[in-house]
Structure 1
């Protein structure tokens, strides 16, 4: 079986990995939508392999439209199966607020079993990009605002950090084994001891098809050019939820970008807080929204690979 469309009668059929590539929905989620909710009904080969037609792909795109509008996955089937002539009602508020509250409660109670369930459930039912935007990124931001000097905050932070490092690291490792895309290096800046933004960005980039080298420990900025050279990296992404020290922002990062053979990009709250500090520098500001950051990163990588020849 190949990644190209397969002919069955007159209409082409696609294997699940090709549908995943075309729609951005991973194969685990596609299977969950089929088994648990009956949202899609692919054909099967004699050996049981799923084959999807163009109608199935369009249906997946409609499902994504409803999910992006906040409709819980359990309510999508009723909406997409309405006759086309019937005006589709506005969706009710989705269950993201409820999921965020459950996740925060699990962290605050140090309930790693519940964390495991919520992590696996969210990533099996929704695209990774949507999970990050609607669940994990807002929860991390809320928790970091709450923690401050609160008693027990350090313990909560370290438990969540350890949990995400293990789960995200495992997902990134397995995705790297089957990805043929360019490799990027994701690391955290010095003041961001937890590395939540670097880990979430690594997960988002991995789900988008990149091979990811995720470094969530302390890493001297001066050694990153060596890392990009030895590892064959296409871009270097640096993340932080902090403003970072002035010497890092105004001297070390611009110097790193000047010395690096690949684009040096900044993502996370630091990119919003310090955006003006990087005007007229080679550091690429990707922003705080990870979906937009990935799109901007792709443009930065393409521009670096195909520089415009100077006018003579």
Structure 2
């Protein structure tokens, strides 16, 4: 079937910017899917600009469905080109996600910044941010956290990775905040959390959901948060930690803060599991440990 038969002359065609808005897939990723994997084949204007038909948009949505089920992009074409009734459920464990995670871990352990840069750029070019976080970055960082412990060189590996991600995520937040129209979030760590990896991933996930993210490097004094909320027009505060944190903070100071502020005060990271009993009826909103799920749970809290 030729392109004209698939896309009649009177069928609407959409430029890449509009397709990105409709599907949530950025233009860099759409071009990568086309060039590297042949997943989509838009028409071209005489000047070479891409134009997408409704069938292309439906195909992009099917691609997103497979990616959301954990299928690596390299396997998606074979799946979407099969009739739906004949498409088997994918064995995602046989895909290349594990290989990508091991490559990422190896790059961190080898302190290989060039490889780390390539893996970061590749993952966010080929996949929507939430998929890259859920399938690659969050599980790889969890494996690294388990392996680090008191291992020689672990401190240097963690510091290098944090510095790398702080720069890359910060750049993405800067540009995303200029075009986002969602509520503004303040994301920071709690006092006893000495590392920033958790808050960086959550900030990136929240930005993908359309929020404008103010990311603080250090835990702010609790008595200054009300000032930050007022001056920065914050719609929700998200505090991240992988530590148990002090009992006084968890049982008294944070619940008191939640009472004082007229916006949701949310906790994310392993602290929500560690302190689950203390957080019941505390007035604090718990988002969980997974950054993508945490970001998605903000929606209902901010829609009231």
Normalised TM-score (structure 2): 0.91
Give the whole-Å Cα distance in 2 for the aligned partners of 1:27 and 1:245.
Answer: 45
3-state SS of 2:188 partner: strand
**Where does 1:38-187 land on structure 2 (aligned, <5 Å)?**
38-84=38-84, 87-92=86-91, 93-187=94-188
Give the whole-Å Cα distance in 2 for the aligned partners of 1:291 and 1:22.
Answer: 20
Residue ranges of structure 2 left out of the alignment (5+ in a row) = 1-7
Query: Residue 33 of structure 1 contacts residue 40 of structure 1 at CA under 8 Å; is this kept in 2?
Result: yes
Q: 1:48 to 1:211 in 2, by over 3 A?
A: farther
- Asked if 1:223 corresponds to 2:219, the answer is no
Give the whole-Å Cα distance in 1 for the aligned partners of 2:268 and 2:210.
Answer: 18
Deviations 1:125-150 (A, max 9, x none): 01110111111111221211221111
3-state SS of 2:238 partner: strand
3-state SS of 1:150 partner: coil
Query: Residue 209 of structure 2 contacts residue 296 of structure 2 at CA under 8 Å; is this kept in 1?
Result: no
Shift of 1:198: 0.7
| Aligned match of 2:286 | 285
Q: 1:278 to 1:113 in 2, by over 3 A?
A: same
**Number of paired residues?**
295
Shift of 1:45: 4.1
Query: Residue 203 of structure 2 contacts residue 213 of structure 2 at CA under 8 Å; is this kept in 1?
Result: yes
Query: Residue 185 of structure 1 contacts residue 236 of structure 1 at CA under 8 Å; is this kept in 2?
Result: yes
Q: 1:267 to 1:13 in 2, by over 3 A?
A: farther
Give the whole-Å Cα distance in 1 for the aligned partners of 2:22 and 2:236.
Answer: 24
3-state SS of 1:186 partner: strand
3-state SS of 2:88 partner: coil
Shift of 1:201: 0.7
Give the whole-Å Cα distance in 2 for the aligned partners of 1:18 and 1:189.
Answer: 40
Shift of 1:216: 2.0
Deviations 1:136-187 (A, max 9, x none): 1112212112211111111111001101100100111111122222211111
Of 237-246 and 11-20, deviating more is 11-20
Query: Residue 235 of structure 1 contacts residue 263 of structure 1 at CA under 8 Å; is this kept in 2?
Result: yes
Q: CA RMSD in A?
A: 1.8
Query: Residue 79 of structure 1 contacts residue 88 of structure 1 at CA under 8 Å; is this kept in 2?
Result: yes
| Aligned match of 1:190 | 191
Shift of 1:82: 2.1
Query: Residue 24 of structure 1 contacts residue 208 of structure 1 at CA under 8 Å; is this kept in 2?
Result: no
Task: Pick 1 or 2: higher relative contact order, CA cutoff 8 A, min separation 6.
Answer: 2
3-state SS of 1:205 partner: helix
Residue ranges of structure 1 left out of the alignment (5+ in a row) = 1-7, 304-312
Give the whole-Å Cα distance in 2 for the aligned partners of 1:176 and 1:33.
Answer: 25
Give the whole-Å Cα distance in 2 for the aligned partners of 1:276 and 1:17.
Answer: 47
Of 118-127 and 55-64, deviating more is 55-64
